[in-house]
Amino acid sequence: MATREIKKAVLAYSGGLDTSIILKWLQDEYNCEVVTFTADLGQGEEVEPARRKALDLGIKEENIFILDLREEFVKDFVFPMFRANAIYEGEYLLGTSIARPLISKKQIEIAQQTGADAVSHGATGKGNDQVRFELGYLALDPSIAVIAPWREWDLNSREKLLAYAEEHDIEIDKKGKKSPYSMDANLLHISYEGMVLEDPAAEPEDDMWLWSVSPEEAPDEAETISITYKFGDPVAINGNEMSPATILETLNKYGNKHGIGRIDIVENRYVGMKARGCYETPGGTIMLKAHRAIESITLDREEAHLKDEMMPKYAKLIYNGFWWSPERKMMQAAIDTTQEVVNGEVKLKLYKGNVIVIGRSSDESLYSEEHSTFEEDEVYNQADAEGFIRLNALRFIIEGKKQPERIANLTSKL
């Protein structure tokens, strides 16, 4: 039951089962005016039907917001994350995680625009999204009230939700049909959780994957593409300049065609439990490989290594919902400074689930063929390496002379 007096709440609204029920529940339990916000992040589904559903539930036309955020999503959230080469626990490219701060931002903007004193979301009390949404809300507006129905109501099963919908005459598409998986999609990825996937030993069903062909069914001939980078961001494919969202859309098509970007992982949720999920991130998988390739010739060694040391912390911040934190912004500033020289072109071969780098070039390349050649050169004196090695070994030499017993013990264990 409601314990706070709320006048107006902005609801992150998809028009699906959960959020349609939340809309009605907010009206009944809080007796407040509801503003709906539906984000088009390139999820591949029509968002306009949410307008009609909201109107049917009594929402005023001026209180219905449907926004196309595809370009902003890729330009201001996906691209900065990929400049860091962010990947969580070695595999997850953070497709769901990176969408939440943008949704939070827009909800707060709409709340301020409409004079709302609360925001609401449909995330459950078991998952990461509740944390991501609410850390975003409170970072951007510390005075906003947050309503998380899944932590308040007793509608804790699909059957109870459907019964509530029937009782209140809420129209639900395919009402009564049990959805096989819990899914989230945007331009970067699609995720699958629940059902058979709750057993980490069970193989996913072949027809679960909605975006990509299986690597076995992918074309038998490889396809070569090129990606052009400017300041660490992809700006063209095969020489054709494109907007950020179009870049990712195009790479998704290539990845889906060649069975690229499927993963099956058990990840550690921020709230403490492990969860098994399957993901398709076709374009992102290609971008990660290409970005590391262009960095390999344009970044200084220690600069690149320091970035790699920072990356797990950066990825963890995004996964846990700390996009708006001072530490993420600080790390982003450092990362973006390195990207000033990450310009050039990467050539890739796509083949049966694989992304293979076959070339990289840049006007700012630090690769020096005359220094690296195995042939005769006039720029590097190999005899200099002896002094370099002896200086690096100096502490070993001193230790060996001053503490011979310790060295003897070490060598006896070899």
Active site residues: 18, 100, 129, 182
Q: Of 387, 388, 411, 384, which Cα lies nearest the Cα of 399?
A: 411
Q: Are 288 and 82 contacting, i.e. CB atoms less than 8 angstroms apart?
A: yes
- The rounded Cα 196 to chain-centroid distance in angstroms is 24
Q: Of 211, 164, 176, which Cα lies nearest the Cα of 190?
A: 211
Q: Are 286 and 352 contacting, i.e. CB atoms less than 8 angstroms apart?
A: no
CA–CA distance, 83 with 379 (Å, rounded to integer): 34
